[in-house]
Amino acid sequence: MTLRIAAALALVLLYAALCAAIWWREHRKRRAARDEAAALSAAREGVAPLLVVFASQTGQAEELARETARLLHTAGEPVQLCALGEVDAALLARTRRALFVASTYGEGDAPDNAAAFSFDDAAPELAQLQYGLLALGDRQYTHFCAFGRQLDGWLRAHGAVPLFERVEMDNGDPAALTAWQHQLTQVASLSELPAWQAGPDFEDWTLAGRRHLNPGSAGAPVFHIELAPPQGGAALWESGDLVQVRAPADPEHPREYSIASIASDGRVHLVVRQALRGDGTPGVASSWLTQGLALGGTAALRLRAHRNFRLEDNAARPLVLIGNGTGIAGLRSHLRARAASGAGPNWLLFGERQAAHDFLFREEIAHWQSTGVLQRLDLAFSRDQAERIYVQHRLAEAAGTLREWVQAGAALYVCGSLQGMAQGVDDALAELLGREQVAQLLRSGRYRRDVY
């Protein structure tokens, strides 16, 4: 008993030390970001700061906007960097030049950090504003770059003058990035800008484990992937973060996956479903990760901070975690973090096809229930009865409890498929809480989504 208590205490102390290290790193990053913002906006005599605005869901647009601001600052341009949700009519009315980097959430919606921006037809005329726009999207979706196109159309409709035609980037296409940087040289009136540094370098991580999670399922196979960091290295990330993986057959278009582990696990865990493309051929990255890559082989990977899905200010709040399928990955990382820190209460709503084959991480979830990490668990296995039941139905059945948790300050995290689940959950929340309260939760960071 004494040894078990000592071991448990050692684990708690280890996790506390890790949390302290992460907190200190993030504290330094926030302080550096404030210092950088002040330096970027340092006035040059007679030159007004150029406004650089991002609308970002997973952080890629923010990363590109930040690097854009750095490059322009290096070229001598004072820059003001901010999220689109922080932009109002007064700021636009006094701005002479602006650059927008706008991603599209799902099938044409605004990213969460742009939800507060108003496309009000009564906005002032913007004839004084010259602007450029980089729209990020994925051609797998029907409404490619729809939000960026909407923003571009709104600016034009209010008299703003494009500095150049909108640049559209399909899933990180490097040619579009090159075109964007070329346009920046015109904005900065320079022959060339310093080398583009869009994110950290990829590193070789080792495939240390792979396990089939849903044998016998009527759905596509799902695998639990474990990747060990480069030899002699250690990696830090937070629950909610992402990784980008380069498949050898298509290295120019990295795939993003939600991390299903925490840094103290020592390995990045992924939950990957074998995908089929529209023509019936296997998905390049998912097929390679689940079948092609040999154990002990290496994958080119880099960590990506996902500020929109981290716990951050919600770390001390009750959590309502909602997801389906491989969306359990992002929710699992949060629950592992909560289990390690002892934070709560926590409520998980999870959905899949059949309990017999698709109850992903069944044993771990049962352990969280028995040890008090999970105060409530609601499951929706859609094919286990004649009438299809999904997580949004379970949410509606627990309407009173949901209102109580939200009233007590709970934060809502949704991870999984955009089509069906995420939209269904959003509609259910609007029905149960009211659309205005859902919007307020979104603006305050208490409603966060990692969907695809």
Residues 257 and 134 in one domain: no
- Over residues 225-237, the mean pLDDT reads 88
Please provide the distance, in angstroms rounded to a whole number, between the alpha carbons at the two ends of the chain.
46
> Does 38 have pLDDT greater than 90?
no
Q: Domain for residue 25, yes or no?
A: yes
pLDDT digits (tens, 9 = 90+) for 374-408: 999 999 999 999 999 999 999 999 999 999 999 99
**What is the 8-class DSSP label of residue 105?**
B
What is the C-alpha to C-alpha distance for residues 365 and 350, in angstroms, rounded to an integer? 11
Residues 226 and 288 placed together within one structural domain of the fold: yes
Structural domain ending residue among the three candidates 261, 285, 304: 304
Dig out the tokens for 446 from the structure: 């208490």
More confident residue, 75 or 344: 344
Q: What is the reported pLDDT for 101? A: 97
Q: Which CATH number is 336's domain given?
A: 3.40.50.80
Note the pLDDT of residue 2.
59
Same domain? For 45 and 6 the reply is no
Q: Is residue 195 part of a domain?
A: no
CB environment 34-55: b (16+ within 10 A), e (fewer): eebeeebbeeeeeeebbbbbbb
At 183, list the tokens.
């346009």
Residues 234 and 330 in one domain: no
Q: Same domain for 76 and 179?
A: yes
Q: What's the pLDDT score for residue 12?
A: 45
In the DSSP assignment, the letter for residue 121 is T
Q: Residue 417 and residue 451: Cα distance in Å, rounded?
A: 5
Burial category of 385 from C-beta neighbours within 10 Å (exposed 0-12, middle 13-18, buried 19 and up): exposed
**Residue found by looking up tokens 């070229």 in the block:** 75
- Cα 59 from Cα 61, distance rounded (Å): 6
In this structure, is residue 198 part of a structural domain?
Answer: no
35 CB contacts (<8 Å, ≥6 apart)? none
Q: Is the pLDDT of residue 263 over 70?
A: yes
User: Is the domain of 243 the same as that of 333?
Assistant: no
Q: Are residues 293 and 427 in the same domain?
A: no
429/433 Cα distance (integer angstroms) = 6
Q: From 245, 278, 260, select the one nearest 326 (Cα to Cα).
A: 260
Per the domain annotation, does 338 fall within a domain? yes
Segments in 250-354 forming alpha helices (H): 284-287, 328-341
Q: What is the model's pLDDT at position 36?
A: 45
Residue 196, domain member (yes or no): no
8 Å CB contact between 157 and 123 = no
According to the per-residue pLDDT averaged within each range, which of 18-27, 60-69, 205-214 is highest? 205-214
Domain contains 90: yes
Give the CATH number of the domain where residue 135 resides.
3.40.50.360
Domain count, the chain: 4
Mean pLDDT, range 103-112, rounded to an integer: 87
Between β-strands 130-137 and 161-162, what pairing exists: parallel, antiparallel or unpaired?
parallel
The string of pLDDT tens digits covering residues 151-162 is 999 999 999 999
Structure tokens that stand for 388 in this block: 């299809």
Same domain for 403 and 292, yes or no, is no
Looking at the predicted structure, is the pLDDT value of residue 32 above 60? no
Average model confidence (pLDDT) across the chain: 88
The residues facing 228 across adjacent strands are: 206
Whether residue 194 is contained in a domain is answered as no
pTM for this entry: 0.81
What is the structure's pLDDT at 192? Answer: 66
pLDDT bracket for residue 18 (50, 70, 90): very low
Token pair recorded at residue 203: 């590193």
Nearest 5 degrees, angle CA 82-CA 85-CA 90? 80
Give the pLDDT band of residue 140 (cuts 50, 70, 90).
confident
Together in a domain, 416 and 342: yes
Q: What is the pLDDT of residue 76?
A: 85
- Write down the pLDDT at residue 199: 63
Domain of 415?
312-451
Least trusted range by pLDDT, from 134-143, 192-201, 304-313, 397-406: 192-201
Length of the chain: 452
